[in-house]
């Protein structure tokens, strides 16, 4: 039997950066990192409250929600670890899953981790193009998908990938049995792998150390390809400490999560942290504000984390049909600016306090407002740094700005990602000194040491908290026969924060395309619908720098001017 990896010798991961030994020692000395893992946290709660409810899963279509206790979730995770080992998953391998929010997601995640493997969560909106790239990059042996979700045939898409992605050996389908795929029910749920007398020793031999990689999550950026963000047990632990240490939430506070568990928001704040605290988590597979408010009343929900648009939906739904929301304390809100009236309405209509946060997949929550902060602060600030993270704002002279000044936002600390999977060059470009990380955001430094995000230097549009991979969409549209030049820019939207607008010049002096032509073109390429532009603007020429680079800020100004 092999011993688990020690904190000083994590399993090698391509693209993982080397953190100076003195920095690692300081993180441990401060208690920001530790030797326990996320699995250890979960198992401690299983021992302390085996019969307490861990997961409540509400499904579209109604019916009674499914409920699982901590003991049941633990047994399922052990069973699923055995199923994955049977499929040839080795310690350190990536396992990919693309599932809606339900009990299966955390049970599989903890099964992956207990098998010593790495979680590769895939957001449900990803389609063939995105999955082909990600599965090829991670060399995942196993892909777990639903049969269908939101009218998309995930099983058929996965089986197509099984024939084209070299490393992929098994497609596992949750739901209806699918020819050519493994049935999740038959291979994972119905077989008591945990009864194998050798499984306990095998899991112990595969046990992670706290600095082993727990997750590779792909996020869209400006490089023309998704970037695989590498996180360890310690960076995730550090990045989620705000839930109990800043907001004071504990085991009796029920969590609700509608944001997909495949996002860092859902993964960290809707799964591993609540389970580490012994909380009950309520899931909804498809966002529905009325259903969410019903669940708050029925389950005693205390808090959630999501985007501004969700708050606005909840306010409207509560006004239409009031519920008893007396247990609801906090809505932690990020991904877009929070208008002052939304802060007021959340308190008056929902009885909840809005907390504004800023963070990234690369570092989770870095700045936050605090419970009790006034409306004016929450609506004009993205908060001050949590105690374990540092920020700085650099001006054009690359020196820190004075309060009131704006510039490039950088951060560093124990929740910072460990690199980009197989792309150390991309991480080095954002952190050339392997210390401060350039976030790509432009922030105004406030007198209180906090920040307000005022723009982005990176080429990104954020629609309802979802990053749109601008460079990739532009590259596809450049191949459309009617497009000569294209720039995707964000235009303000009251509900979603931003919507994507495609600004084009027409090729060859011919007729301009209509938006439907461009979206049909993207559909045929296998691109997720949520990444399609929702507006089209045709211009005679693009504003450019002397070097020929399109000046997107000028395009935004022109669009805002009508």
**Is 90 exceeded by the pLDDT of residue 7?**
no
Q: What is the pTM of this model?
A: 0.87
Q: What is the mean pLDDT of the chain?
A: 92
Whether residue 466 is found in the same domain as residue 414:
no
**Is 50 exceeded by the pLDDT of residue 420?**
yes
Q: Does residue 275 lie within any of the structural domains?
A: yes
Whether residue 355 is found in the same domain as residue 398:
yes
* Interval 312-330: pLDDT, tens: 899 999 999 999 999 999 9
Mean pLDDT of 130-153: 96
**Is 60 exceeded by the pLDDT of residue 546?**
no
Q: Does residue 3 lie within any of the structural domains?
A: no
- What strands, in cross-sheet order, belong to the sheet with 281-284? 66-69, 53-58, 281-284, 254-257, 301-306, 330-333, 353-360, 364-368, 384-385
**Is 50 exceeded by the pLDDT of residue 3?**
no
Whether residue 471 is found in the same domain as residue 430:
no
Whether residue 410 is found in the same domain as residue 523:
no
Among 411, 441, 471, residue at a domain's last position: 441
What local confidence, expressed as pLDDT, does residue 9 receive? 65
What local confidence, expressed as pLDDT, does residue 288 receive? 95
Q: What is the domain-level CATH number for residue 340?
A: 3.40.50.12780
What local confidence, expressed as pLDDT, does residue 478 receive? 84
Residue 530 tokens, joined: 């949520």
- Inter-helix orientation angle 289-299/308-320, to 10°: 80
Whether residue 419 is found in the same domain as residue 485:
no
What's the rounded Cα separation, in Å, for the pair 379 and 99? 34
Place 4 in a pLDDT band, splitting at 50, 70 and 90: very low
Is 467:440 a contact under the CB 8 Å cutoff? no
Whether residue 83 is found in the same domain as residue 153:
yes
**Is 50 exceeded by the pLDDT of residue 5?**
no
Strand partners, 483: 506
- What strands, in cross-sheet order, belong to the sheet with 451-456? 390-394, 406-412, 437-445, 451-456
* Interval 189-228: pLDDT, tens: 999 999 999 999 999 999 999 999 999 999 864 445 789 9
Q: Does residue 120 lie within any of the structural domains?
A: yes
Strand partners, 95: 119
Place 556 in a pLDDT band, splitting at 50, 70 and 90: confident
Among 372, 407, 441, residue at a domain's last position: 441
**Is 60 exceeded by the pLDDT of residue 385?**
yes
What's the rounded Cα separation, in Å, for the pair 76 and 47? 15
Q: Does residue 448 lie within any of the structural domains?
A: no
Whether residue 399 is found in the same domain as residue 493:
no
* Interval 224-278: pLDDT, tens: 578 999 999 999 999 999 999 999 999 999 999 988 999 999 999 999 999 999 9
Whether residue 43 is found in the same domain as residue 154:
yes
pLDDT above 90 covers a percentage of the chain that reads 77
Q: Does residue 134 lie within any of the structural domains?
A: yes
Whether residue 191 is found in the same domain as residue 119:
yes
> If you ran DSSP here, which 8-state letter would residue 346 be given?
I
Give how many domains the chain has, as a whole number. Answer: 2
Q: Which of 61-75, 266-280, 334-348, 397-411 has the lowest mean pLDDT?
A: 334-348
Which domain, by its residues, includes 473? 461-560
Residue 442 tokens, joined: 């432009």
Max intra-chain CA distance, the chain? 73
Q: Does residue 85 lie within any of the structural domains?
A: yes
Q: How many CB atoms lie within 10 A of CB 14?
A: 15
What local confidence, expressed as pLDDT, does residue 547 receive? 52
Q: Does residue 242 lie within any of the structural domains?
A: yes
User: Is the alpha carbon torsion for 82, 285, 70, 95 positive or negative?
Assistant: positive
Mean pLDDT of 353-371: 96
Whether residue 139 is found in the same domain as residue 53:
yes
Q: What is the domain-level CATH number for residue 504?
A: 3.30.300.30
Q: Does residue 304 lie within any of the structural domains?
A: yes
Among 441, 472, 506, residue at a domain's last position: 441
What's the rounded Cα separation, in Å, for the pair 506 and 103? 49
Q: Which of the given ranges, 66-80, 120-134, 478-492, has the highest pLDDT on average?
A: 66-80
Whether residue 502 is found in the same domain as residue 368:
no
Q: How, if at all, do strands 254-257 and 281-284 pair?
A: parallel
Whether residue 178 is found in the same domain as residue 254:
yes
Mean pLDDT of 174-192: 97
């Amino acid at each position: 039997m092999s011993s688990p990896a020690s904190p000083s010798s994590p399993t090698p991961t391509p693209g993982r950066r080397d953190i100076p030994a003195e920095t690692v020692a300081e993180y441990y000395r401060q208690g920001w990192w530790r030797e326990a893992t996320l699995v250890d946290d979960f198992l401690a709660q299983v021992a302390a409250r085996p019969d307490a409810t861990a997961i409540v899963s509400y499904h579209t279509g109604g019916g009674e929600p499914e409920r699982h206790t901590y003991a049941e979730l633990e047994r399922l995770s052990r069973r699923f670890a055995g199923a994955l080992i049977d499929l040839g998953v080795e310690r350190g391998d990536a396992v990919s899953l693309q599932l809606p929010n339900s009990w299966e997601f955390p049970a599989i995640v903890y099964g992956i981790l207990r098998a010593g493997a790495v979680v590769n969560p895939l957001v449900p909106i990803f389609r063939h193009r995105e999955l082909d790239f990600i599965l090829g990059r991670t060399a995942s042996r196993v892909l777990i998908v639903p049969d269908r979700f939101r009218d998309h045939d995930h099983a058929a898409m996965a089986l197509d990938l099984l024939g084209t992605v070299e490393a992929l050996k098994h497609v596992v389908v949750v739901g209806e049995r699918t020819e050519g795929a493994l049935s999740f029910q038959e291979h994972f749920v119905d077989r008591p792998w945990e009864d194998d007398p050798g499984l306990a020793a095998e899991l112990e031999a595969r046990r992670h150390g706290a600095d082993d990689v727990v997750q590779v999550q792909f996020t869209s950026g400006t490089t023309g390809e998704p970037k695989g963000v590498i996180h360890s047990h310690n960076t995730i632990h550090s990045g989620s400490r705000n839930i109990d240490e800043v907001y004071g939430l504990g085991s009796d506070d029920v969590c609700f999560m509608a944001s997909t568990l495949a996002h860092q928001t859902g993964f960290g704040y809707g799964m591993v942290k609540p389970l580490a605290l012994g909380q009950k988590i309520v899931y909804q597979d498809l966002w529905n504000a009325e259903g969410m408010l019903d669940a708050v009343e029925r389950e005693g929900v205390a808090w959630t984390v999501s985007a501004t648009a969700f708050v606005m939906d909840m306010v409207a739904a509560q006004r239409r049909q009031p519920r008893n929301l007396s247990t609801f304390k906090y809505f932690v809100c990020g991904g877009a600016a929070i208008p002052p009236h939304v802060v007021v309405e959340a308190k008056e209509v929902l009885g909840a306090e809005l907390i504004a946060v800023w963070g990234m997949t690369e570092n989770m929550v870095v700045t936050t407002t605090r419970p009790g902060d006034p409306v004016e602060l929450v609506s004009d600030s993205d908060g001050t740094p949590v105690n374990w993270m540092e920020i700085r704002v650099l001006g054009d002279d690359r020196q820190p700005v004075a309060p009131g000044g704006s510039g490039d936002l950088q951060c560093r600390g124990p929740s910072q990602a460990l690199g980009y999977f197989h792309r150390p060059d991309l991480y080095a470009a954002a952190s050339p000194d392997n210390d401060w990380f350039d976030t790509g955001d432009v922030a105004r430094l406030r007198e209180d040491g906090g920040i307000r995000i005022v723009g982005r230097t990176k080429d990104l549009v954020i629609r309802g908290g979802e990053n749109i991979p601008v460079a990739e969409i532009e590259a596809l549209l450049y191949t459309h026969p009617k497009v000569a030049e294209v720039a995707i820019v964000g235009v303000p939207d009251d509900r979603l924060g931003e919507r994507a607008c495609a600004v084009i010049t027409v090729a060859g002096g011919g007729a301009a395309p209509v938006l439907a032509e461009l979206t049909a073109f993207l559909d045929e390429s296998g691109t997720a619908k949520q990444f399609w532009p929702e507006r089209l603007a045709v211009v005679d020429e693009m504003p450019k720098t002397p070097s020929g680079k399109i000046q997107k800020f000028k395009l935004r100004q022109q669009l805002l001017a009508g």
